[in-house]
Amino acid sequence: MSLSRQFAAFVHGLRYEDLPPAVVDRAKGVILQALCSALLARDMPATHEALALVSEEEAGGGGAATVLCSGARFTKAGAAFVNAEMIFAGGKWDTFRMLTHPGVAIMPPALAAAEATGCDGKTFITAIAAAYEVLERMASEFIPTLMSRGFHAGPVFGIFGGAVAAAKIHGLSEEQINGAIAQCVNLAAGNLEGARAGGASLREGGAVRNALLAVALARFGKPSGDSTLEGDAGFYHSYLGNNLGLLRYSYIGENRTDLSIITKNLGEDWMFLETLYRVYSTAGYNIAHVDVTAALCRESGLSYADIDRIEAVVNWFETEYPSPAFPSRGGEPVVGSTQYFSAYGAVTGGYPLVRGAGPGPGESDPPEVLDLMKRVKIIPMVRRTLFGPRVTVFAKDGRVFTKEGTGREFIWDFETHAKRMAPIAEGVATGKAGYDALVELCRGLNAKAGAGPALIRATLGV
């Protein structure tokens, strides 16, 4: 079978009972992560802008779906767009292979579909797991090459995840799911040049609208082909320049893969479990520097006054964001840089969850952080584990301490995730009681009827 047919068979046939416990646990975690991000972004300018845009665009239109945190009602596409923009603005994304953030693209269409169908929690969890698995398998080896061609992997691959989630919740047939995937090939988009030119690129917000259009076309019987992904003029040829598995770039230095591995052991080996949580509101390549450096200083009994300098060996792609073909980072130790977050971890033992990538209005940085970041050196290395820095602290008395990152520092179970995210309660309108209620809802979502409305209500504080 073609790739799209294999995915369609997997998604259509997947039952909640087929999901390993770790997959169910991770699905609950990514749901919590996305909704936490929305809660934090409730009053952010990007959220108000998206609400205003859709309110004007859909004036007089039907209210089929609800916006998180506000309760505004729009079309499914309109609500999904606002919800994606809100989750994105909150900065608490999940991350896969550095440059895709599946939850931003998957959760909004899933919520719209769940609200429309009244599906139960088991159906919702199953759809989320299926969507993550399809998105991440499609993207895994190909993200660096796609980015080098000027596309942004987040929305380009995200549309497939959003469509799969909505298609599964709507109960589409195997043929219709194949059709939805085929239409995603026609509708996938996302480019880097706008942001490079000083503007703003449309990211997952556009992908979720198109994902719902793809599902609608499939529901109404739009014909689809069998080779839209791997065909000679298909998705991989168009977006990567070939359908032969040839790679311009890769995280580990390989220059070739095989398209057949995309669906190898589908439903048995879950790539979804590689998804990590970006709990700090900064680029994913920075998050491990906070925790690994903090842990090294704590374990070694080092304080700011003891440290002469810090070195961190990292995967070379982490120094070439968003792509070696279009690098946008200068590498200087400035607020928001990798050096800044490494110094923050060393000086304070962490980074505030309710803070952005730098000080907001009325906030300031510890002067020790601003000093130490000038003495942090980032060393790129090919074949280094992604998000797994090797941190070395050189003490003023001549001692040297090293800690190896694993790349899995931000992969954990639901209960750990709920505890790690708890500090956001101080920065959201629903407060601690609302956060605790949301955690309890996600924890027991598999036993919940009407999953979509329940999750939406939890962000409204009712």
User: What is the DSSP track for 192-213?
Assistant: SHHHHTTS----HHHHHHHHHH
CB within 8 Å of 432: residues ≥ 6 apart: 425, 426
Residue 205, in any domain of the structure: yes
pLDDT band at 237; cut points 50, 70, 90: very high
Residue 432, in any domain of the structure: no
Residue 260 sits in the same domain as residue 385 = no
Q: How many CA atoms lie within 13 A of 32 on its CB side?
A: 33
* Residue 387 near residue 410 (C-beta atoms within 8 A): yes
Residue 428, in any domain of the structure: no
Q: Domain residues for 192? A: 3-278+441-456
Residue 148 sits in the same domain as residue 247 = yes
Residue 461, in any domain of the structure: no
What does the pLDDT look like over 304-327, one tens digit per residue?
A: 999 999 999 999 999 999 999 998
Residue 258 sits in the same domain as residue 133 = yes
Query: CA-to-CA distance for 448 and 385, rounded, in angstroms?
Result: 39
Residue 88 sits in the same domain as residue 236 = yes
The answer to whether the predicted template modeling score (pTM) of the entire model surpasses 0.95 is yes
Residue 368, in any domain of the structure: yes
Residue 10 sits in the same domain as residue 122 = yes
Residue 412, in any domain of the structure: no
Residue 289 sits in the same domain as residue 370 = yes
Strand pairing report for 73-74 and 65-66 = antiparallel
Residue 298 sits in the same domain as residue 256 = no
Residue 187, in any domain of the structure: yes
Residue 9, in any domain of the structure: yes
pLDDT band at 329; cut points 50, 70, 90: confident
Residue 345 sits in the same domain as residue 321 = yes
Instruction: Name the more confident of 329 and 421.
Output: 421
Query: CA-to-CA distance for 111 and 452, rounded, in angstroms?
Result: 5
Residue 245 sits in the same domain as residue 324 = no
Instruction: Name residue, tokens 């990211």.
Output: 203
Cα 381 versus chain centre, distance: 24
Which one, of 260, 335, 353, lies nearest residue 39 by Cα? 353
Percentages helix, strand, coil for the chain (3-state, rounded to 5) are 55, 10, 35
Burial bucket for residue 325 (CB in 10 Å: 0-12, 13-18, 19+): middle
Residue 135 sits in the same domain as residue 183 = yes
Cα–Cα–Cα angle for 314, 319, 322, rounded to 5 degrees: 130
Number of domains in the chain: 2
CA torsion angle 101 87 439 408 (round to 10) = 20
**What's 106's domain CATH number?**
1.10.4100.10
Alpha-carbon radius of gyration of the chain: 22
**What's 299's domain CATH number?**
3.30.1330.120
Residue 140 sits in the same domain as residue 246 = yes
pLDDT band at 268; cut points 50, 70, 90: very high
Residue 197 sits in the same domain as residue 335 = no
* Residue 456 near residue 66 (C-beta atoms within 8 A): yes
* Residue 153 near residue 169 (C-beta atoms within 8 A): no
Q: What is the pLDDT of residue 209?
A: 97
What are the structure tokens assigned to 358, written together? 């730098």
What are the structure tokens assigned to 339, written together? 């050096």
What does the pLDDT look like over 116-148, one tens digit per residue?
A: 999 999 999 999 999 999 999 999 999 999 999
